[in-house]
């Protein structure tokens, strides 16, 4: 298994501005997730390019299927699309291109969505919560996509850049300072 190392870097003015934008877009993904009719879990995604939202998505069944995500209390229907997949396939039907775009997601992407993210030419991924499985994020790191875990606590956002380091044998989460108020 590929392991990611988390590291903190010092921010300059440009990076702080980017952090402000990132935190706002991320908050928007949480609002967008409210569109999802899935009960077990609501996920939202926004695709941003040149400071424009070019696509959006939330988890749900494909077009034309009933708006019910769960087979029973514990199981999600196998054909439910994840928010990232919906955002990427939606842009494919538009005149926009996801090439070089940033994907904002409420939670870290799974392996299947990470494959799509790589193939869609997305260069940057910002997510709010770490999902229990890390293999998708590991794959993005291997594809040299910039991956940022932007975690929030009491309205303050802290960016943690995730990078691959082959020499690391364990997963280390480091989050020191550099907290920027919203």
Catalytic residues: 84
Minimum distance, C-beta of residue 81 to Zn ion, in the bound complex (Å) = 9
User: Cα dist. 160→67, 112, 113 in Å?
Assistant: 35, 23, 21
Please tell me whether residue 82 binds Zn ion under the rule CB under 5 A.
yes
Residues β-bridged to residue 161:
7, 148
Instruction: Work out how close the CB of 110 gets to Zn ion at its nearest, in angstroms, rounded to a whole number.
Output: 3
* Shortest separation between residue 174's beta carbon and Zn ion, angstroms: 26
Count of C-beta atoms within a 10 Å radius of residue 176: 9
Q: Which stretch binds Zn ion (CB under 5 A): 32-40, 54-62, 107-115, 140-148?
A: 107-115
**Residue from 54, 113, 148, 150 that binds Zn ion (CB under 5 A)?**
113
When asked if residue 137 is in the footprint of Zn ion (CB under 5 A), the reply is no
Query: In this structure, what is the dihedral angle of CA atoms 119, 92, 19, 151, given to the nearest 10 degrees?
Result: -70
Nearest partner of 41 among 77, 90, 89, 87, judged by Cα: 77
Residue 134 near Zn ion by CB under 5 A: no
Contacts with Zn ion, residue ranges (CB under 5 A)? 82, 110, 113
């Amino acid at each position: 298994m590929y392991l990611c190392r988390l590291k903190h870097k010092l921010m300059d003015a440009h990076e702080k501005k980017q952090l402000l934008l990132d935190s706002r877009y991320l908050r928007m993904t949480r609002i967008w997730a409210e569109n999802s009719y899935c009960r077990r879990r609501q996920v939202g995604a926004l695709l941003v390019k040149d400071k424009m939202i070019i696509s959006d998505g939330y988890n749900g069944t494909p077009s034309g299927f009933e708006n019910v995500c769960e087979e029973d209390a514990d199981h999600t229907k196998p054909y439910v699309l994840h928010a990232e997949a919906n955002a990427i396939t939606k842009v494919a039907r538009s005149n926009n291109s996801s090439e070089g775009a940033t994907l904002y997601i409420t939670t870290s992407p799974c392996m299947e969505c990470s494959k799509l993210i790589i193939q869609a030419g997305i260069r940057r991924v910002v997510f709010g919560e770490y999902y229990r499985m890390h293999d998708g994020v590991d794959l993005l790191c291997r594809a040299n996509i910039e991956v940022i875990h932007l975690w929030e606590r009491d309205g303050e956002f802290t960016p943690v850049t995730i990078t691959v380091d082959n020499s690391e044998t364990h997963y280390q989460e480091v989050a020191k300072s550099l907290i920027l108020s919203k």
